[in-house]
Amino acid sequence: MSNLCVIGTGYVGLVTGTCFADLGNQVICLDIDEERISKVKQGIMPIYEPGLEQVVAQNVKAGRLFFTTSYEEALKDAEFAFIAVGTPSGVDGEADLQYVRAAAEAIADIVDHPIVVINKSTVPVGTGDWVAEIITKRRNERPLDFSVVSNPEFLREGSAINDFMVPDRVILGSENRPAAEKVAELYQSLRCPIQITDLRTAEMIKYASNAFLATRISFINEIANICEELGADVTEVARGMGLDKRIGRAFLDAGLGWGGSCFPKDVKALAHMAVLHGTQPQLLQAVMEINRNQRRRMVMHLRKTLGGLNDKVIGVLGLSFKPNTDDIRDAPALEVIHLLRNEGAVVKAYDPQAMEIVAKYYPTIPLCHDPYQVAEGADALILATEWNEFKQLDFKRIHQAMRQPVVFDGRNAWNADHLRAMGFRYFGIGRGNL
């Protein structure tokens, strides 16, 4: 059992702290957002993450998990301090590290015992050295016995607890190997491969992994766009490709492309690092461009099919960037809605979880209370996020409700033959029909 502090109780910090508590450690999660901490203390989660509420409650009840806004309280007994604060994109794509700096400075100002500082947030290559420098400089007069370890997270929203508890691997990087081995002990009970390398390599593994996953998606989307012109079905292409063990089937789902708080930010940050250090990230630039275009192509197809968008009523099913989360950061649905409204379309939408957040940040988007209300009087219906509850809709009722039975399946989640047999004009992504 160890004493851990997690700085930043966001999506990553809260899941990380809770899961470490579940493994038997004493954990204090800190956040500077008073409201967030007071809500978590009442058992109200700041994010929708399946199963999280229960695991938090169990560990709070067991006396292993605490929440605070006080750095003093959070750090006083901590042997390990995980930095999991936001690292949002800066002006031209570089990661904004102001919050990482704030956390490092707080550790330097408060801690007077040996501590391992762990970068859990996704940070540019070299940040580990930078954090060490900040702490060393700040403790020039009173040297602190500390080391820095990079321990990037590979959590997917909507399956974050499982991704923590059953990871494919744990990556650790440090210039102080014993420190990395101490962190490795925290993960021993997960019985998964643990790779220990140096700081920069560990930081690069995170970026390269996310950039590769994003590349796979942009690749299959480019293939989908070619399939549309050549009359092939990309869902079958992906199946055939995936049977090759060297390729695998995962992350080959063509659609509106990737959004969320990681892929967009991390691919941009990696490209920015490359340019900053004099190399040309051609592939990463293309990966981002293809992803941007997927949203625009959807609008182009709608414009062509409906003979213009002005005054057309368009229903959008799904607003979160993917199913099983309420996270709308860089959600394709929101950009499609923005582009449609720019051309005079009247848009309405529904999402099983993200309505509250959308109403708060995008109050002008008319929200419906269910998919059928979205379909009412619509000239077209878009599936933007493939929530399970959209997969078996009462399409007879949808057909009757719509002004024109035109559906755009932005995630290839619906059965084209079934819908066409019911009289819909069905358009998928790369289904050889646009």
Distance, in Å, from the CA atom of 194 to the CA atom of 167, rounded to the nearest integer, reads 10
Q: Is 23 among the residues that bind ligand UDX (CB under 6 A)?
A: no
Q: Does 110 bind ligand UDX (CB under 6 A)?
A: no
Residue 211 or 401 with smaller CB distance to ligand UDX: 211
Strand arrangement, sheet containing 406-409: 346-350, 313-317, 380-383, 406-409, 425-427
Name the one range near ligand UDX by CB under 6 A: 32-40, 130-138, 359-367, 391-399: 32-40
Q: Which is nearer to ligand UDX, 145 or 236 (CB)?
A: 236
Does position 122 bind ligand UDX by CB under 6 A?
A: yes
Distance CA 290, CA 226 (A): 12
Whole-number Å distance between alpha carbons of 109 and 300:
55
20 binds ligand UDX (CB under 6 A): no
Residue 22 or residue 327: which is nearer to ligand UDX going by CB? 327
Which of 130, 187, 147, 145 lies closest to 164, judged by CA?
Answer: 187
Near ligand UDX by CB under 6 A: residue from 23, 36, 270, 314: 36
- Residue 396, number of CB atoms within 10 A of its CB: 10
Q: Where are the beta strands (DSSP E) in 129-274?
A: 146-150, 170-174, 194-197
Q: Does 10 bind ligand UDX (CB under 6 A)?
A: yes
Backbone φ/ψ region at 142: left (φ over 0), alpha (ψ -120 to 50), beta: beta
Our CB check for ligand UDX shows the closer of 46 and 377 to be 46
Residue nearer to ligand UDX on the CB measure, 93 or 405: 93
Q: Is 157 in the site for ligand UDX (CB under 6 A)?
A: yes
Please count the other Cβ atoms lying within 10 Å of the Cβ belonging to residue 304: 11
Considering the candidates 19, 29, 227, 262, report the single residue annotated as catalytic: 262
Strand partners, 3: 26
Q: How far is the CB of 247 from ligand UDX (least distance, A)?
A: 13
Between residue 216 and residue 275, which ones bind ligand UDX under the rule CB under 6 A? Answer: 217, 251-253, 255, 257-263
Strand partners, 432: none
**Would you call 262 a catalytic residue per the annotation?**
yes
When the beta carbons of 309 and 339 are compared against ligand UDX, the nearer one is 339
Assess 321 for contact with ligand UDX (CB under 6 A). Answer: yes
Q: Which is nearer to ligand UDX, 212 or 396 (CB)?
A: 212
Query: Is residue 121 within the footprint of ligand UDX (CB under 6 A)?
Result: yes
Using CB atoms, what's the residue nearest to ligand UDX?
10
CB-count exposure of residue 62 (10 Å: 0-12, 13-18, 19+): exposed
111: contact with ligand UDX by CB under 6 A? no
- We find the least distance from the C-beta atom of residue 394 to ligand UDX, in angstroms, to be 25
* Beta strand ranges found along 164-219 (DSSP E): 170-174, 194-197
Does position 324 interact with ligand UDX (CB under 6 A)? The reply is no
Q: Is 94 exposed, middle or buried (0-12, 13-18, 19+ CB in 10 A)?
A: middle
317 is a contact residue toward ligand UDX (CB under 6 A):
no
What's the length of the chain?
A: 434
Strand extents, DSSP E, 337-418: 346-350, 380-383, 406-409
Under the criterion CB under 6 A, does residue 326 sit at the interface with ligand UDX?
Answer: no
Q: Is 117 in the site for ligand UDX (CB under 6 A)?
A: no
Q: Where are the beta strands (DSSP E) in 334-430?
A: 346-350, 380-383, 406-409, 425-427
Applying CB under 6 A, which residues contact ligand UDX?
7-13, 31-33, 36, 84-87, 99, 102-103, 121-122, 153-157, 210, 213, 217, 251-253, 255, 257-263, 321-322
Residues serving a catalytic function are 262
